[in-house]
Structure 1
Amino acid sequence: MPRETKTTYRSLQYFYLTAFLSNGSLFPLLAVFLQEEKQLDPVLVGLIVAAIPLVNTVMEPVWGLLSDYTQKPLRLLAAALTAAAALAFIYLIYDHYALLLLGMLAIAVFQAAVIPLSDSMALSFVERNQLEYGNIRLWGAIGFAVASFLLGYITDFVGTLDVIFIAYGLCLLLALPALRKFPRQGYDIAAVSMKEGLRTLRKNKPFLFFLVSNFLIFGPILANNFYFGTFILAAGGTLSAVGIAFFLGAGSEAPFMKLAHRIIGKMSVIHVVMLSAAVSGARWVLYMFDPPLAVIFITTIIQGLSIGLYVPAALLYIRSAAPSSVQATAIALYSAVGTGLGNALFNLMGGMILEIATVYHMYALFAATTFTGVGILIIVKRMKSAAEGKRGIA
């Protein structure tokens, strides 16, 4: 590998490490912070955490358009990192609910730029140099795991959750030096109108059914990231225990992400998606019955199987199911439905359930919707097999 290429490669790995160190510092304990430090009701907490993915859904394409228009993705990324860090430091002085909501919305606006813009440049770089994106992205999983582990202990030691915002802001600022060695161009995707793409994909029934299953499966997975800390505390754990649990869960994703393509190569993509989704559903069923803390720690390790395999396998299915001319639209829809709408809805429903029932009832909902999603995946598999059979006869 040429020296300049290697320097850029290491800079990208460092960036993902620090960017996800920031995410791991804040988001695992955000719901606990809003309940414990700001004394908000669960429904109000749910509204705040549900607003974050909705902002991401709206703002991610906006940042993409700004990048295309200005042709200066690095400057936009630097501005977003700096603004999000500054807003995080200011957030600590807010006490009124309206300010807490608006402040988090403001952070989310700039946070929404970080991963799409960096992904665009990273994907462009690895394709030009025939490298693996997974070896860059896994540093994000490592960063998230390390931050959640450390912040659990730090918050227990200092006796306040305010430090999660300080750590979040500092890690974003630590990511800035990496931009000096970043590639100078983003991923060039053929422009296809959204209207044309939607018209084409609307006729693709297996693709539409897959989107519904992704909404039902991935929404609970992402909502769990916000409420898992609440669950650990309900099970008798401490903030340190929350950090350990997230460390085990996020840390287990890295090796599975590295092995994902090898495993997918031995099984069909749809079977890998079904397996990883069923594992998630089984985990939610176990959590319904108030398991001991030791059992919870053990089950977090299988998060690598349920997320580390689901994410790359689902993306590969989307790419294979959609025609090449509308893949950009297909991936955007996949992200909007699961990461955006599914994440938001299940965060909101989680807060509402916690208001009137318990965290165990919340996981009952997650289990029911996840296995409904698995059932839909079985339908998708049959539809695909039937379509392939017709082509074989023809």
Structure 2
Amino acid sequence: MLPYWRLSAYYFFYFGFVGAFSPYFTLYLQSLRFTATDIAILMSLMQVMRILAPNLWGWLAERLGVPVLIVRVSAVASLAGFALFFLTTEFAGIFVGMALMAFFWSAALPLIESVTFTHLGAQGHRYGNIRVWGSVGFIVAVLGIGHALDYLPIDSMLWMTASVLAGIVVCAFLVPDAVRPPAGRTQVSLRETLGRPEVRALLGACFFMSAAHGALYVFYSIYLVDNGYGKALVGWMWTLGVLAEIVVFLFMPRLMKRYSLRAILLFSFVAAVLRFLLIGWGVGSLAVLLFAQLLHGATFGAYHAAAIAAVNQWFPGKLQSRGQALYGSLSFGAGGMAGGLASGLTWDTIGPAWTYSLGSAFALAGLFWLMKGWRRESPPTPVHD
């Protein structure tokens, strides 16, 4: 029986943490008078650890066959790492806390994705109906904390975010193990799968899509506040993007039946090229910013659902944890780190508008790579008799 609500609750709190942390921790760091470069370095640790940790933990889960146990350990250790933020306001101390928290927190998502698809089995098209609760959790956190910070000091976000992390710990212990059916045939190796041009094209394009979002995740809240928008509105802007994401997740089963994964991904990259140009040059117009946030439904919702479905097809069975880890490491890890660091270097030099234009250029590079390397819809990874 599919443990729908237990999996959904985990996604709710996991992405609730993203809604509590990403939009407001940068404002907290700014209140400590850290420079744009300092903030970019600290926030990039989340992406650095997404390069290292998922592959390590994915390999360990594959070897030991205990992905849920690792998810539980990562939840407890993430909360312990976050606790260091209550003890110091110095760059070195926050750097250590970020590194520890990110190393364990980033281990969980590829594993829980693998566990979810294993529970779903032949019902993989229902992934969006479970993942949508992560978007709901993001909205609850980003709106609640955004409104609270209009009345409370910025450092109160630490306690609110720690409470969400505690929710992840509870849900991690409620998620049941998923037993994969025994394989009747020998699957192809990881090297053979990575040798397929469409697989390499997807992973490379995903790197650029995450790089395109670098300035958004590091500086978007600061950008809006610096241009006269209130913190509550900042929360609503993030919420609007995730509402668009939710709508897309709910319709993904229908979209995937009507359109190929390749077509959905190509559309998502085109939307990203437009979105970051609008954010960079249209900050003076609330209407432009609202439209740009609606495009999040394509640049993350449709993009992520289609990308993860392709990874699930191309990395079956025991390769699934490794495939999800590679996707997370190369996209959210390496791509997010590159985009975040690049935005930190350009923010105070060439300015926000050109920094977001650089994000648009990243998306354009990903679009060209995907079009060239993935020329037609590909079947799932074959198996050898």
Which amino acid is the alignment partner of residue 111 of structure 1? W
Instruction: Determine the structure 2 residue equivalent to 1:293.
Output: 286
User: In the TM superposition, what are the counterparts of 1:178-197 in structure 2 within 5 Å?
Assistant: 178-179=171-172, 181-185=174-178, 197=190
User: Equivalents in 2 of 1:326, 1:79: separation in Å?
Assistant: 22
Alpha-carbon distance between aligned partners in 1 of 2:349 and 2:219, rounded to the nearest angstrom: 15
Residues 354/326 of structure 1: CA separation in 2 closer, same or farther (3 Å cut) = same
Q: 1:366 aligns with which of 359, 370, 373?
A: 359
Summarize the Cα distance change of 1:73–1:239 in structure 2 as closer, same or farther, 3 Å threshold.
same
What is aligned with 2:29?
34
Contact 2:214 2:338 in 1 (8 A): no
1:205 aligned partner: 197
**What pairs with 1:202-241 in structure 2 (closer than 5 Å)?**
203-221=195-213, 223-241=215-233
Could you tell me how far apart the structure 1 residues matched to 2:322 and 2:66 are? 23
Return the match for 1:172 from 160, 165, 169: 165
- CA 1:123–1:325 in 2, change beyond 3 Å: closer, same or farther? closer
Q: Which letter maps to 2:263?
A: H
Offset at residue 124 of structure 1 (A): 2.4
Task: Tell me, in whole angstroms, the C-alpha distance in 2 between the residues paired with 1:319 and 1:68.
Answer: 15
Q: Does 1:24 align with 2:24?
A: no
Q: Name the aligned partner's letter for residue 210 of structure 2.
A: F
Q: What is the alpha-carbon distance in structure 2 between the residues aligned to residue 359 and residue 325 of structure 1?
A: 44
- Matched with 1:94 is 88
Specify the structure having the higher radius of gyration (Cα). 1
Q: Which moved more, 1:126-135 or 1:284-293?
A: 126-135
TM-score, scaled relative to structure 2: 0.86
Distance 1:87 1:227 in 2: 23
- Matches of 1:21 and 1:239 in 2, distance apart? 18
- Asked if residue 340 in structure 1 is aligned to residue 340 in structure 2, the reply is no
Letter in 2 for 1:281: V
- The yes-or-no answer on 1:245 pairing with 2:245 is no
In structure 1, the partner of 2:383 is none
**Structure 1 residues 26 and 324, CA gap change in structure 2 (3 angstroms):** closer
Distance in structure 1 (CA, Å) of the matches to 2:312 and 2:125: 19
Q: Select 1:276's aligned residue among 265, 268, 275.
A: 268
Displacement after TM superposition at 1:95 (Å): 2.1
Cα distance change, pair 281–130 in 1 and its aligned pair in 2 (3 A): closer
TM-superposed CA distance for 1:144, in Å, is 0.8
- Could you say if the C-alpha distance between residues 274 and 71 of structure 1 is closer, same or farther in structure 2, counting changes exceeding 3 Å? closer
Residue 275 and residue 261 in structure 1: after superposition, are their counterparts in 2 closer, same or farther (change >3 A)? same
Letter of the 1:256 counterpart: V
Shift of residue 106, structure 1, vs aligned partner: 0.8
Q: Find the counterpart in structure 1 of residue 382 from structure 2.
A: none
Quote how far apart the aligned CAs of 1:354 are.
Answer: 1.3
Supply the distance in 1 between the matched residues of 2:301 and 2:5 (Cα, whole angstroms): 22
Cα 1:15–1:208, aligned 2, differ >3 Å: closer, same or farther? closer
**Does structure 2 conserve the Cα–Cα contact (< 8 Å) formed by 1:88 and 1:168?**
no
Q: Flag the 1:264–1:76 CA change in 2: closer, same or farther, 3 A.
A: closer
Query: Contact (CA 8 Å) 2:54, 2:326: kept in 1 or not?
Result: no
TM-score (norm 1): 0.84
Q: Report the alpha carbon displacement of residue 353 of structure 1 after superposing the two structures with TM.
A: 0.8
> How far 1:61 sits from its partner (Å)?
2.8
Q: Name the CA distance, whole Å, in 2 between partners of 1:250 and 1:327.
A: 27
Decide whether the 8 Å contact of 2:59 with 2:322 is kept in 1: no
Relative to structure 1, the CA distance from residue 250 to residue 288 in structure 2 (aligned partners, 3 Å threshold; closer, same or farther) is same
Contact 2:280/2:354 (<8 A) preserved: yes
- Residue 138 of structure 1, CA deviation: 0.7
Identity of aligned residues (%): 20
Contact 2:61 2:70 in 1 (8 A): yes
The SS at the match of 2:348 is: helix
SS in 2 for 1:288: helix
TM-fit CA distance, 1:283: 0.9
Q: What is the aligned partner in structure 2 of residue 312 from structure 1?
A: 305
Aligned-partner Cα distance in 1 for 2:160–2:351 = 30
- What is the CA–CA distance in structure 1 between the aligned matches of 2:20 and 2:4, rounded to whole Å? 24
Shift of 1:342: 0.5
> How do 1:85-164 and structure 2 match up within 5 A?
85-127=79-121, 132-158=126-152, 160-164=153-157
CA distance in 2, matches of 1:274, 1:363: 20
Q: Secondary structure at the match of 1:39?
A: coil
8 A contact 1:23–1:168 mirrored in 2: no
1:261 aligns with 2:253: yes
CA distance in 2, matches of 1:239, 1:180: 34
Summarize deviations over 1:25-46 as a string: whole Å, max 9, x none. Answer: 11122222212x2211111111
Once the two structures are TM-superposed, the CA of residue 167 in structure 1 deviates from its matched residue by 1.6
Q: Secondary structure at the match of 1:40?
A: coil
Deviates more, 1:112-121 or 1:163-172: 112-121
Equivalents in 2 of 1:238, 1:163: separation in Å? 17
